[in-house]
Chains A and B, each alone.
Chain A
Amino acid sequence: MKMMENVAVMIIFFMLLGLGFIFYGKIGGHGAKQDIEKYVQLQAVKLAKVVAALPEVRCSEENVPVQDCFDLLRVEEAASKIKDTTNERYYFEILGYSRVAIEEKYPGNGSIIVYDNQPDINPTSDLEEIKFSYIPIYIPITLFNATINQYSFGVLEVGTYDK
């Protein structure tokens, strides 16, 4: 009788322990999900900072960088150079799976896609449907056109493709 009681106590003890672990696991999972979301957001913000500091596109006066300013001629050149397949891999290391576009809002209107690299989704893969979300960040900037010495109001669109 006493033995049965002991066994019952042990079963309840292990059940409580198991429940505790399940609860801990669930909380851990919840925390991990939040961490992933935070990481994805941080990646987009980090990328925006990296793009703004790229010497390929930013304005400079006697090599002194002009804050939040993109040189239109450099942007055009960079866009065509990056699209070149030989350079694509190099810039992939800096920008990863993302899209970088610059749009003029005033006085003119126009848009240049500097970089756009979407992850390849294998269409034959039927294991799991992979969806990539695009989370863009818009940052107001000035666009400098050196040939006509004009600053325009533009927008830098930076977004990462995340699973």
Chain B
Amino acid sequence: MFKKRLSKKADVEIQINWIFILIVGGIILIFFIGLITKQKTVSTTKLNINIRESLDTIFTSSQVASGTANLINTPELEVDFDCDNYYVGEFDSGINKPLGKTRIIFVPDRLEGKQLITWSLEWNMPYKIVDFLYIIPKEMRYVFIFNTDDEKSFAEEIASLMPKDVKPEVISVNEISNLEYTNNYKTRLVSFVNQPLSAQLNPSFEKKDLSYVSIVPDSNSKESGKVVFAVYSKNPANNAYDFSYARNTQDASTFPYIDYNPEFVTEKRYPTLLGAIITDSIDIYECMLKKALKRHSYITSIYNGRVDKIILATAEPDHPLKQRNCVAGMYQVTDPNLLSGRQELNPITSLSTSIEKCKNNLAYCDPYGDVQALVSVNKKAQDNSCPLVY
């Protein structure tokens, strides 16, 4: 009887023990699962912040050193860009940061993958304005299209300027139909052909992110010209895929590229043209070009004031500049072919007016003549041991 009671008590104790283990075990399990979930969220946010900080460092360093291209290994990236911000992680729940008014970054509207190529180039007009930063995902494919020999050599020149990791393909317009989709998350066709492109691409490109830009250099110089942005999409009229302007009309999809390549520099050329090639978004290109012109306007106003001071000094009777053969009128443009024969005491004033015009309307932007005038004046000042304009 006693033995039976004892065994019954032991049974109850064992059962209570099991209930106790279940409850406490459950609590511990829930606690640790909660901790892991929280830690996972924290580390994702931390990773996004790290990516943002790394991008931020890249943006800042581009303001300090130009001409360098780097291949950067990153964690699996998903970064979206627009004119003013970039978004790391999920578009709505991720982290966004403003790009700022002073950073000029030519980048596709979305970065994906694990490798980025960062590259920076000086924009000289004719003096240094800013370093452009280019961010190119390794996963993006660039195809350059030419028709004539001239177009081929221009396409090859631009391809040779790009970082070696980009590896753009240069093909003839006749080879377009042979082009096949190669699993790149973005494909950009860059046409140097002086005619609108209308070609049936391989069906593998359908529903894929494919963009197109056409480059039309000015007749007198390749350093400036126009770029026309287009997209490859389904035409609702015939349900077939075709190229159409990025905006409603051709004029609205056309922007200038404004470069000046110093004679002795062979590698840092065509910075705005390369910007139009690298970014696949017409909005980003327009926005960055406007930012660049704004920066030009600020720097030009400073250079303008400086040259005014030097010109004022040359007019002083006993100024040391006179001993250096630096007399009044030294900074006038004497070449009748430049500035339409206008005689301006300070050649920067004319460039400044052109840049202001560009800022107001990109369609009528052509400061190339004023830039050349300034180059000639700077050379004259150097030949006469005068203070240089830039």
CA distance A60 to B302 in the complex (A): 14
Q: Of the listed stretches A87-95, A128-136, A155-163, name the one at the interface; the rest are far from the partner chain.
A: A87-95
A56 sits at the interface (CB 8 A): yes
Q: Enumerate chain A residues within 8 angstroms of B167, measured Cβ to Cβ.
A: none
Per-position binary interface string of chain B over residues 96-113, scored 1 when its CB falls under 8 Å from any chain A CB and 0 otherwise: 000011100000000000
Picked from A2, A3, A55, A90, the residue with its CB within 8 Å of the CB of B102 is: A90
Please, how many angstroms separate the alpha-carbon atoms of A61 and B16 in the complex? Answer: 89
Q: Is A36 an interface residue (CB 8 A)?
A: no
Tell which of B124, B299, B310 touches A63, judged by Cβ atoms closer than 8 Å.
Answer: B124
Inter-chain CB contacts under 8 Å: number:
87
Residues of A within 8 A of B303 (CB): 74
> A85 → chain B, closest Cβ, in Å?
14
A63 and B127: CB pair below 8 A? yes
Return chain A residues, CB-CB under 8 Å to B124. Answer: 63
Residues B313 and A62 in contact, CB atoms below 8 Å apart: no
Cβ-defined partner of A53 (8 Å) among B63, B101, B306: B63
1/0 contact trace for A1-24 toward B, CB 8 Å? 011001000100000000000000
Interface assignment of A46: CB less than 8 Å from any CB of chain B: yes
Q: Which of B13, B24, B294, B306 contacts A74 (CB 8 A)?
A: B306
Interface residues of B in 1-41 (CB under 8 A from A): 13, 16-17, 20, 24
Q: A60-B390, A65-B128 are contacts. A81–B305 as well, Cβ < 8 Å? A: yes
Which secondary structure characterizes the binding site on chain B? Answer: helix
The proximity string for A residues 69-92 relative to B, scoring 1 for CB distances below 8 Å and 0 otherwise, is 001011001101100000100100
SS class of chain A's interface: helix, strand, loop or mixed? helix
Question: Residue A50 at the B interface, CB < 8 A?
Answer: yes
* Residues on A with beta carbons closer than 8 Å to the beta carbon of B130: 55
Chain A: minimal CB distance from B291 (Å): 10
Chain A contacts for B319, CB-based, 8 A? 147
Known: A60-B390, A149-B387. A3 touches B20 (CB 8 A): yes
By the criterion CB–CB under 8 Å, are B100 and A93 in contact?
yes
- The reply to whether A93 and B306 contact each other, CB–CB distance below 8 Å, is no
The answer to whether the Cβ of A49 comes within 8 Å of any Cβ in the partner chain is yes
Q: How far is the CA of A61 from the CA of B264 in the complex (A)?
A: 14
Chain A residues within 8 Å of B378, by CB:
62
Name the distance in Å between A23's Cβ and chain B's nearest Cβ.
16
**Chain A residues with a Cβ under 8 A of chain B:** 2-3, 6, 10, 46, 49-50, 52-53, 55-56, 60-63, 65, 71, 73-74, 77-78, 80-81, 87, 90, 93-94, 146-149
